[in-house]
Each structure stands twice: as C-alpha cells, then as structure tokens.
A and B are shown apart, each in its own frame.
Chain A
C-alpha cells in the first residue's frame, strides 16, 4: 500500500498556509522599510553593530548641544568686543586731548570734561550686559562690575579716593586750596598712595564687583576656553586710574605745574591701557576664531555622523521596491496554488 512518493493531505494544506504566512510577514517588513527608509527592526538587523548606531547618535546629541552653546558664547564675545571697541575709541579720544593740553594752559576745563566722559563710558562699557548677564563680571555674572564713580551717595571707590587724598594733603579734592599742592607732592601721591588704590586687593574691595575668574566654556568635545574678560583685568584698572586721576582729584583747581604732572602721568597710563586693550581684544578675537572654527568642524562632524547612521540603518529603497514586487508575485502565486489545490479534488471526478 505504501507508495514511493506519498504526501498526506494535511501536510499539503499546511505547507501552503505556512508559506503564505512567511511571505506576508516579509511583505509587512518590506513595506515598513519602504515607508521609513530604515530597516524594519534595526536592532535585529544590526545586532552587535546597534551600539555603533547608538554611539553615533550620542555623539550628535553632544556636539549639537556644543554648537548651541557656542552660539551663545560667540554672541557674548561679540558683545564684549563691541564694548572694548567703544572703550578703545574713548580712551584714544582722551589721549588725543591730553597730548596738546600739556603745552597749553587754557583748556583744563575741557580735559576735565573729557576725563569725566571717559570715566562714564568706561563704567558703561564694563557694565554692559547681555541677557541679564554682565559681560565683564567674570563668573559673578549677576553683579554689576563697577558702581557709578560720580554717584550720590559716593560709592566705595569715590570714598577711597577722597580718603587717600585727604590723608595725604589734609583737604578734600573739592577744596579750592588744592592749588597750593606742589607738583612734587602730587607726583609722590600719584606714584604711591593713589596707585595703591588700584592694587589687586583694593580694586576688588572698593571698585569692582567682578570675579577674577573668567567664564569657562566647553567649545568642542575636547577643548574648554576662557570666553570672557573680567573687569579686574590690569588694563581696565589702568584706564580707571588715568581717568580718575583727572576726574577725581580736583584737577580744575590745581596749579599749572601740578596739572601738568597729573596730565603727564595720565598720558603715560592711558597709553599703556590702550596697549593693554589691544591685547585683550586680540585674546578675545583668537577665542572667537577658535569657537567659530569649532562650529565649522561640528557641522562637518554632524554631516559625517548622519551619513554614518544612514549607512548603518538605511535600506536601499530601490532594492526594497524590487523585493516588494517579488514578494507580491510570490504571494499571488501562492494564492493561485492554494486555489488550484482546493479545487483539485478527486471528489469532482468520482461521479
């Protein structure tokens, strides 16, 4: 009874059922792939490589956020540069006014106004803020670096100048008798007591609310950089010293020789200060360059990383389309076969 080729009816129908189910499953996967352009089950396809895809995405998240913060940092540095530019112009104007004044006795009033204006501008620029952050305050970004020297009541800085002057000469700078102060006494005062007002300790105590510590930012995955200049920088102290010298020591009432001493001293210090400003500006400029370089690099990296992710996870849509049409054909064939088989019954022929 056992024939050489034998097939049971049950296996005949279960075989077609199983193959239809297999084709349908693959068709569903292929359609997902066509719609998303990615593998239907990325983890299953990549296996151990999945970690690489995760890692590439980790990198993108990180450098994208670095790029975002870099743009904030850049804006801050651009703000600082603008302030420094203004300050340089003001200082230069003051210096330009000082130079002829030393040989001319009549324009002392103008010098005083120039000094007051320069002082005002220095305060304004060093107090510039962006988004509620004082640019020159270092890490104490919520504190205004300089109080108004001409304010009423006088701030600690003005009081300290007044006190030092009074201690030295026995009168206030507003006193008309300051005309009696000799050039040599003034020179001595400027070199010692007055210069001491701008020492590190006194500057922080009386003048500046800024921190010595500049803001530090991560500008690429491996680099961090100081991205701000603080008002405690020596340059700003020098400029303040020069402006105060003229604006805060009763300049208009001093005798000519003493005025000359003050102007000479101021000229020298402002010149140094302007030199310092250039250094500060170029420091910031270099950092700005580093940040924008880092940003360019980040753009390239993000492109590269995205391409790598695509390389891992994408499917070739042409291939998937071909696959879908192949699978559809196979499925139609399977349906046709099933239909034929079910019609093909010996019962139809046994009449």
Chain B
C-alpha cells in the first residue's frame, strides 16, 4: 500500500517538475522582453499524497510599476517640448552663423552705415535693400517655422489621441480576460503582462494613474482625475485644426466629455506627450510667434516715414518695410498677429521689382511726395540714412505679454528674443535630461524587480532536473522492489 503511495507521490512530483520546467522555459523565452515578468510555479504539498502546482505566480511590484508610469509620462512631456524648441532654434541658429533676425538687423544697420558713406551710389543703396530683404525673409521663414512646429504638434496630438483610443480598446479586451481568468482560476499571468504593457504605452501619451479592484478589474484615470477607462473605455476626442490661426490656441482634447488639455485649467493633464505638445502648440510657439510679430512691427515702425511738409498733417506711414495692411502703420500698443509672416520690402524701393533703392536716402517710399525728406534731391543727403540708423537703435514700446522687456530698441528686442529662446531651451533640455534619467532609473528598477535572470532560470533548471531524476529513480526503485516481490512468489 505504501509503495503505491510512493509511486503516486513520485508521479505527482514528475508532473509538478515538468510544469515548473515549462514555466522556466516560458521565462527563458521572454528573457529580453522588457514587458515580461518572472513567473514562478510554487509547489504545494497535497493533503493526501504528493505535490501539486495550484497556480502560476507572477512577480509584480505595483510601487515600481507606478513609479515607472509617472517617470515615463514626465519624460515624454519634457522631451516633446525640448524637441520642438530644437526646431524653433533653427530660426536663430548658431551665433556664429549670424542668421538670426537680431544678427541680420545688425547687418542691415551696417549696410545703412556704408550707404551713409556713399549716399550717391545706387549700388550701395541696392545692398541696403538686399540686407533689408534678408531681415524680412528671416522673419517670414521664422514665422513659417513656428507655424509648422505648431501644426506638427497639432497633428501629433491627433495621432496621440487615436493611439490612446486604440490602446484603451485593447485594454478592454485584456481587462475582460483578466476578470474571467480570475473568476475561473486559469493562468492569467501573460494577460496581466500584456495589460501592463498597454498601460506603459498609454503613459507615454498621457499621464495616468490606475485603481485595481478585487476581481482583477482595473480602472484608469488621467493624472488630473478624468476617467479614461472604467469597465468600458471612455472616448477621447480631439478635432485637429487644419490651419492654426497665428496667436490663437488650437482645439482642446476631451476625455469622457471633459477637456483634459488645451483650454481647460481645471482638469488639465500634467504629463505625457499630449501635455508637452499642448504646451508647445498653445504656449511656447505662440509666445515666440508673438515675439516675431513684434519684431516685424518694430522694424516697420523704425523705418516709418513722417510727413515732411512745413505743417505736417498726414499720419506716419510704412517706409522700406511694409506689410499686407500697408502703407498705414500697424496698430500700435500690442501684438499684431501674422505681421512677421507678411512683412516685406516695399516694391517701390526694390530694384529687382522695378523700384528705386535710392528712396531709402530720399524718403517717400510709399509714393506720396509729402513724405520726401530729401526735397532738393541732393545725392549726398545723409540725414534720412542717419535717422534710420539711430531709429533702429532707439527705444520703442513692445507688448509686455511677449515675455520680453517691453521697452527697448528693435535690435535689442530681437537679441532678447534669442536669449529667451535659448534660456528656455537650456532649462527644458536639462529638465528633459533629468526626467529621462529618472525614467531610465525607473525602467531599470522595474526590470530588476520583476524581470527574468537567465542565470537564475538555468540554475533552477538544474535543480528541477535533479528532482526529476530523483523522482524517476524512485519510481524505478519501487518498480524493482515490486518485481522482486513478485518474483519471490513465482
């Protein structure tokens, strides 16, 4: 009787050991999968005889996992701002390249100075026009870059949102499998791994926190507390704007009907790619755009012409630099949206468009003789040129909402804008570096806490081999004993 029991026990041991070996092989198969957790098959001694494996366990660490989610979201937000700033930085380039609006304004001033030494030379006047063109082109292209960065952010938000929706629907499938598996006791460890992988991806797009329930069910909320998933996925919606208006914020992102990013300030998400992209689209790029617009307005004002009649009656008008609303000056007192994209050289002063560059010296670029400074058409008249040089360097009032000193010359304003951009880029990049280090640490901790170690699995395998061999020997020994017994009877 007891021999049979021994064989039963040995058989159950063989069964359990092969189950354990299968778990080891599952672990080894996914040794390089960052989403895989280590599975363990715990042996339980049965009430009668033998051992059994009631369930497969999964090494998990909620603390490390949540730390990973937070660090990943924070890193993604900063990274997307930093990469947008890198794009904006192309409008300034290296200081050595002298392609920033500030450097080109200095070149324009230098060209004017050269012209003041050779006022009778039309070729030098034309070089002033080309220097001025460089400035207006730089503003146009910088403005285009900013619009492109905003537009890119807008479309990235749209793809993020559709990614979130598809992740949420994947999550629903996996979550249902977990609930079913929990209730009927089947092995759900791989499903849990897959569900966690979805959460990791979700944290890339938006900052989340999770709440677990008894039956294995899980609910997801944004870091601001809006429900993303509870039994069923909540729909996240976003209307992409095909043409973002200068200075105006884009559309908001809604989850479950509540704005989570964009216009709202109550339930706004703090981290994740969407938070970073929204900050680029509605804040950083908009501020930079308004700075460019103010530079354009400053330039138009610095080159404006005043009525030179004995008793001036006419308002000042745009001179060398004009814009779509010229020749009247742009409204004073604040940012005029879109000015940087529409600033241009007045064709009347542009030789390549049939104009006369010497009007820079003479005045009256707008075509009205009342604005003519050089009334006697003297070829060495330098008063107007000198006036232009000093007005490029003299103080103007700029919109304080552009985050730059509001009282400065247009050249200084442009310089301050470079400082603003680079300072922001420096702080965001170092913040992003820090966040990325934190995220790497969190990844490493999570992987070390829950991942698979090949060496450990192999040593386990050795143990299991021994157990298997011992159990087999036991069976064969019992078999020998039984044979001996039977032979003794024959």
Closest CB-CB distance, A321 to chain B, in whole Å? 21
- Residues 372-395 of chain B, each 1 if its beta carbon lies under 8 Å from chain A, else 0: 000010111111001001000000
Max chain B CB contacts within 10 Å: which of A44, A70, A73? A44
- Residues 1-43 of chain A, each 1 if its beta carbon lies under 8 Å from chain B, else 0: 1110011111101110010000000000000000000100011
On whether the beta carbons of B40 and A346 are closer than 8 Å, the reply is no
Interface 9-residue window, one of A185-193, A212-220, A322-330, A331-339: A212-220
Answer yes or no: B113 CB below 8 A from chain A CBs.
Answer: yes
> Which of A43, A68, A346 contacts B94, CB < 8 Å?
A43
Residues of A within 8 A of B109 (CB): 58, 61-62, 65
Residues of A within 8 A of B98 (CB): 57, 61
- A36 closest partner in B (C-beta): B96
A-B contact count (CB 8 A): 192
Answer yes or no: A106 CB below 8 A from chain B CBs.
Answer: no
Residues of A within 8 A of B382 (CB): 139, 215-217
Give the distance in Å from the alpha carbon of A186 to the alpha carbon of B253 in the complex: 101
Per the 8 Å Cβ criterion, residues 416-455 of B in contact with A are 416, 418-423, 425-427, 429, 440, 443-444, 447-455
Interface 9-residue window, one of A47-55, A172-180, A278-286: A47-55
Closest CB-CB distance, B309 to chain A, in whole Å? 19
Give the distance in Å from the alpha carbon of A139 to the alpha carbon of B116 in the complex: 12
Max chain B CB contacts within 10 Å: which of A46, A58, A137, A213? A58
On whether the beta carbons of B419 and A51 are closer than 8 Å, the reply is yes
Answer yes or no: A141 CB below 8 A from chain B CBs.
Answer: yes
Answer yes or no: B296 CB below 8 A from chain A CBs.
Answer: no
On whether the beta carbons of A218 and B389 are closer than 8 Å, the reply is yes
On whether the beta carbons of B425 and A142 are closer than 8 Å, the reply is no
On whether the beta carbons of B378 and A211 are closer than 8 Å, the reply is yes
On whether the beta carbons of A69 and B116 are closer than 8 Å, the reply is yes
On whether the beta carbons of A9 and B31 are closer than 8 Å, the reply is yes
On whether the beta carbons of A46 and B378 are closer than 8 Å, the reply is no
Residues of B within 8 A of A241 (CB): none
Answer yes or no: B118 CB below 8 A from chain A CBs.
Answer: yes
Give the distance in Å from the alpha carbon of A141 to the alpha carbon of B440 in the complex: 73
Closest CB-CB distance, B75 to chain A, in whole Å? 14
Residues of A within 8 A of B113 (CB): 62, 65-66, 68-69, 218
Max chain B CB contacts within 10 Å: which of A13, A51, A64? A51
Answer yes or no: B102 CB below 8 A from chain A CBs.
Answer: yes
Bin chain A's interface residue count: 35 or more
Answer yes or no: B49 CB below 8 A from chain A CBs.
Answer: no
Given A53-B95, A61-B109, decide whether A44 and B426 contact each other with a Cβ distance below 8 A: yes
Answer yes or no: A238 CB below 8 A from chain B CBs.
Answer: no
Answer yes or no: A350 CB below 8 A from chain B CBs.
Answer: yes
Max chain B CB contacts within 10 Å: which of A70, A132, A217? A217
Given A15-B444, A65-B111, A224-B386, decide whether A141 and B120 contact each other with a Cβ distance below 8 A: yes
Give the distance in Å from the alpha carbon of A211 to the alpha carbon of B378 in the complex: 8
Give the distance in Å from the alpha carbon of A44 to the alpha carbon of B376 in the complex: 52
Answer yes or no: B110 CB below 8 A from chain A CBs.
Answer: yes
On whether the beta carbons of A11 and B444 are closer than 8 Å, the reply is yes
- Residues 64-95 of chain B, each 1 if its beta carbon lies under 8 Å from chain A, else 0: 00000000000000000000000001001011
On whether the beta carbons of A140 and B379 are closer than 8 Å, the reply is yes
Give the distance in Å from the alpha carbon of A11 to the alpha carbon of B429 in the complex: 25
On whether the beta carbons of B107 and A46 are closer than 8 Å, the reply is no
On whether the beta carbons of B415 and A218 are closer than 8 Å, the reply is no
Residues of B within 8 A of A6 (CB): 448-449, 453, 456
Residues of B within 8 A of A13 (CB): 32
Closest CB-CB distance, A305 to chain B, in whole Å? 12
Give the distance in Å from the alpha carbon of A3 to the alpha carbon of B422 in the complex: 48
> Which of B381, B411, B425 contacts A43, CB < 8 Å?
B425
Answer yes or no: A107 CB below 8 A from chain B CBs.
Answer: no
Residues of B within 8 A of A8 (CB): 38, 447-448, 450-453
Given A42-B94, A54-B95, decide whether A10 and B116 contact each other with a Cβ distance below 8 A: no
Given A139-B378, A140-B380, A217-B382, decide whether A42 and B96 contact each other with a Cβ distance below 8 A: yes
- Residues 402-417 of chain B, each 1 if its beta carbon lies under 8 Å from chain A, else 0: 0000000001100110
Answer yes or no: B140 CB below 8 A from chain A CBs.
Answer: no
Closest CB-CB distance, A287 to chain B, in whole Å? 14
On whether the beta carbons of B89 and A10 are closer than 8 Å, the reply is no
Residues of A within 8 A of B412 (CB): 55
Answer yes or no: B230 CB below 8 A from chain A CBs.
Answer: no
On whether the beta carbons of A2 and B59 are closer than 8 Å, the reply is yes
Answer yes or no: A317 CB below 8 A from chain B CBs.
Answer: no
- A1 closest partner in B (C-beta): B40
Answer yes or no: B103 CB below 8 A from chain A CBs.
Answer: yes
Given A9-B454, A218-B386, decide whether A42 and B32 contact each other with a Cβ distance below 8 A: no
Closest CB-CB distance, A256 to chain B, in whole Å? 47
Give the distance in Å from the alpha carbon of A224 to the alpha carbon of B455 in the complex: 83
On whether the beta carbons of B34 and A51 are closer than 8 Å, the reply is no
Answer yes or no: A345 CB below 8 A from chain B CBs.
Answer: yes
Residues of B within 8 A of A132 (CB): 120
On whether the beta carbons of B116 and A61 are closer than 8 Å, the reply is no
Residues of A within 8 A of B243 (CB): none
On whether the beta carbons of A73 and B33 are closer than 8 Å, the reply is no
On whether the beta carbons of A69 and B117 are closer than 8 Å, the reply is yes
On whether the beta carbons of B96 and A346 are closer than 8 Å, the reply is no
Given A8-B452, A11-B447, decide whether A55 and B116 contact each other with a Cβ distance below 8 A: no
Answer yes or no: B462 CB below 8 A from chain A CBs.
Answer: yes
Give the distance in Å from the alpha carbon of A350 to the alpha carbon of B92 in the complex: 61
> Which of A3, A47, A142, A313 contacts B426, CB < 8 Å?
A47
On whether the beta carbons of B378 and A140 are closer than 8 Å, the reply is yes
- B110 closest partner in A (C-beta): A65
Answer yes or no: A181 CB below 8 A from chain B CBs.
Answer: no
Answer yes or no: A248 CB below 8 A from chain B CBs.
Answer: no
Residues of B within 8 A of A59 (CB): 106
Answer yes or no: A72 CB below 8 A from chain B CBs.
Answer: yes
Answer yes or no: B163 CB below 8 A from chain A CBs.
Answer: no
Closest CB-CB distance, A179 to chain B, in whole Å? 45
Give the distance in Å from the alpha carbon of A347 to the alpha carbon of B412 in the complex: 68
On whether the beta carbons of A43 and B92 are closer than 8 Å, the reply is yes
Answer yes or no: B342 CB below 8 A from chain A CBs.
Answer: no
Give the distance in Å from the alpha carbon of A57 to the alpha carbon of B102 in the complex: 10
Answer yes or no: A138 CB below 8 A from chain B CBs.
Answer: yes
Give the distance in Å from the alpha carbon of A72 to the alpha carbon of B380 in the complex: 13
- B454 closest partner in A (C-beta): A9
Answer yes or no: A133 CB below 8 A from chain B CBs.
Answer: yes
Residue pairs across A and B with Cβ atoms less than 8 A apart, 9 shown, are A8-B451, A10-B34, A11-B451, A43-B92, A48-B426, A55-B102, A58-B105, A66-B113, A141-B120
Supplied contacts A10-B31, A69-B113, 18 more A-B pairs, CB within 8 Å: A8-B450, A43-B421, A43-B426, A44-B426, A47-B419, A48-B426, A54-B103, A55-B415, A58-B102, A58-B415, A61-B98, A61-B106, A68-B113, A213-B381, A218-B113, A218-B386, A218-B389, A346-B459
Which B residues fall within an 8 A CB radius of A?
31-34, 38, 40, 59, 89, 92, 94-96, 98, 100, 102-103, 105-107, 109-111, 113-114, 116-120, 376, 378-383, 386, 389, 411-412, 415-416, 418-423, 425-427, 429, 440, 443-444, 447-456, 458-459, 462
Which A residues fall within an 8 A CB radius of B?
1-3, 6-11, 13-15, 18, 38, 42-55, 57-59, 61-62, 64-66, 68-70, 72-73, 132-133, 137-142, 211, 213, 215-218, 224, 313, 345-347, 350
